[in-house]
Structure 1
């Protein structure tokens, strides 16, 4: 029986793509198995706050006629609607691994996933998504769970190496925040002892240890060649764009806060890095055209954002032994 109360599910179509809505009294989360299992809505109902950034180009089917002609970057960028993507088995720029050419952000974010309902009750709902990579012999599963009365989404991911030999991978959660939630002055909190690594030195990184809850700074050089940004506070529109890597997590968590907030928790033994990416409108060429105001806070297994080959070279890539399964648990909770 279809329910309009407590925990419930809806199976819908968005712009021609299969989607499923997990909902309870406090949250509505929309997932698109038809495109990478992307989360395109994370709405806190009491405050009518959606946390995810949505690209002006909107949701596009990655199987459309442009896909065949797309280059290794455009496969991701031209179909990027914002939101939250699963990144596997490569993160960032196109890369080649053992003869396999991997496009921007790897494979799974551009593939259709199968899904089935695991639980559908008034107490909780859960759906399990499944996909196989095409260039490398991996299987991924991802279970989304929402319990009645909570403002927290629980996620369990499973990555399995189907080969008889060990393989490398990068695994990440491409989570980006936008309006109406994100605005200048939003604060970012981290655990004690986290280190900041700039992109330019990520291959052989020196690190700066910072104090949790206080300002942690790294120079972000704008077009005029000067200035410095406090990365613990989201800056004004037009501020410099950049990416840095954070590590040294004894516990995997961060909080991003305005009048309401989001706390994301994850297993930092599996994903020891947090990529912090900000695009605040300073990039006026392809692909942003000055229209983006977003911050990404993305738990990752590896660094930098230069693809799997670079992560293998610097020793940060995951290793999955023959037929090994790695399990990742995350929790995203609204703070209000």
Structure 2
């Protein structure tokens, strides 16, 4: 039964792409099964705050080959509307794995996903998204759930190796934050004892541990100087990326300004947190000085050099024949 109260679902299209909206008294979450299962809205209704960054180029249909979808980088970047993507089986730069050429951030973010409703009651709503990769023998599922009365989005991801071979993958949640939520001076908190790995050291990482109480160390910044990673910089600050690990079984972080977001995930499957800043300093392709965003992305594997690099350094996810890996994640608004 169609409802305008408690937990509810809406189906429709956005710019010609299939869309599903999960909503309750506190959150409205819009997902695009027609484009990678992207989350393009994560709105806290009481404060009218959308947490996800929306790219200035807007939403583009990845089926539009006139936009350069055949290019290994453009396939993702030219159709990147911001928001929150599932990244699999490659993370970062294009890479080659056992004869398969993999584009920037892999396959699934550019594919249409099947979508079915698995819960639709006043107490909770949930949809299951599913897709098969085309260049490697994987099946992905993603159950997205919203319960009545909560400000928390729950996601359960499943990656299944459908072959009789032992295979590798990179798997990540490409979750980025932007205005109006993201502002200079916003704070980032982590558990104690986290290792910070600068990008330049990702192949042979030194250990830089967060101090007691979640205080961050300063780390070398691109172009010289140092960066305090616990504070979101002013517009125009240099672009940067680091990798964080050492979370134990459960990973978590909080990012907060006037209100905040706490993300928790299964760090036994996604043991790394990619943290990157793009704050307007990049004046060439693809940002043109127009981005102000921070990514905090749970991942299996690093660095952003692609799957082959992650296999070489031993951080890639391993899936045995016909094995399924399950990764759970919860994103809750702190208000």
Question: Corresponding residue for 1:216?
Answer: 217
Return the alpha-carbon distance in structure 2 between the equivalents of residues 71 and 236 of structure 1: 33
Question: Corresponding residue for 2:48?
Answer: 48
Q: May I ask how many residue pairs the two structures share in their alignment?
A: 333
Return the alpha-carbon distance in structure 2 between the equivalents of residues 120 and 200 of structure 1: 47
Give the Å deviation of 1:264.
0.4
Compute the RMSD of aligned alpha carbons. 1.0
Question: Corresponding residue for 1:241?
Answer: 239
Retained in 1: the 8 A contact 2:75–2:110?
A: yes
Question: Corresponding residue for 1:313?
Answer: 312
Give the Å deviation of 1:67.
5.4
Return the alpha-carbon distance in structure 1 between the equivalents of residues 325 and 272 of structure 2: 17
The DSSP-based 3-state class of the residue aligned with 1:66 is helix
The DSSP-based 3-state class of the residue aligned with 2:141 is strand
Question: Corresponding residue for 2:270?
Answer: 271
Report the TM-score, using the length of structure 1 for normalisation: 0.98
Give the Å deviation of 1:70.
3.5
The DSSP-based 3-state class of the residue aligned with 2:309 is helix
Return the alpha-carbon distance in structure 2 between the equivalents of residues 170 and 215 of structure 1: 27
Give the Å deviation of 1:217.
1.5
Question: Corresponding residue for 2:285?
Answer: 286
Return the alpha-carbon distance in structure 2 between the equivalents of residues 175 and 69 of structure 1: 22
Unaligned runs of 5+ in 2: none
Return the alpha-carbon distance in structure 2 between the equivalents of residues 51 and 214 of structure 1: 24
Question: Corresponding residue for 2:322?
Answer: 323
Residues 40, 69 of structure 1: CA spacing in aligned structure 2 closer, same or farther, 3 A cutoff? closer
1:1-55 CA distances to partner (integer Å, 9 max, x unpaired)?
A: 2110000000010010001000000000000000000000000001110000000
The DSSP-based 3-state class of the residue aligned with 2:159 is strand
Structure 1 ranges of 4+ moved more than 2 A = 65-70
Give the Å deviation of 1:68.
5.9
The DSSP-based 3-state class of the residue aligned with 2:13 is strand
- Segment drifting more, 130-139 vs 209-218: 209-218
Return the alpha-carbon distance in structure 1 between the equivalents of residues 68 and 118 of structure 2: 34
Give the Å deviation of 1:210.
1.2
- Segment drifting more, 64-73 vs 291-300: 64-73
Residues 68, 279 of structure 1: CA spacing in aligned structure 2 closer, same or farther, 3 A cutoff? closer
Question: Corresponding residue for 2:66?
Answer: 66
Question: Corresponding residue for 2:92?
Answer: 92
Return the alpha-carbon distance in structure 1 between the equivalents of residues 153 and 175 of structure 2: 14
Give the Å deviation of 1:201.
1.0
Return the alpha-carbon distance in structure 2 between the equivalents of residues 301 and 280 of structure 1: 25
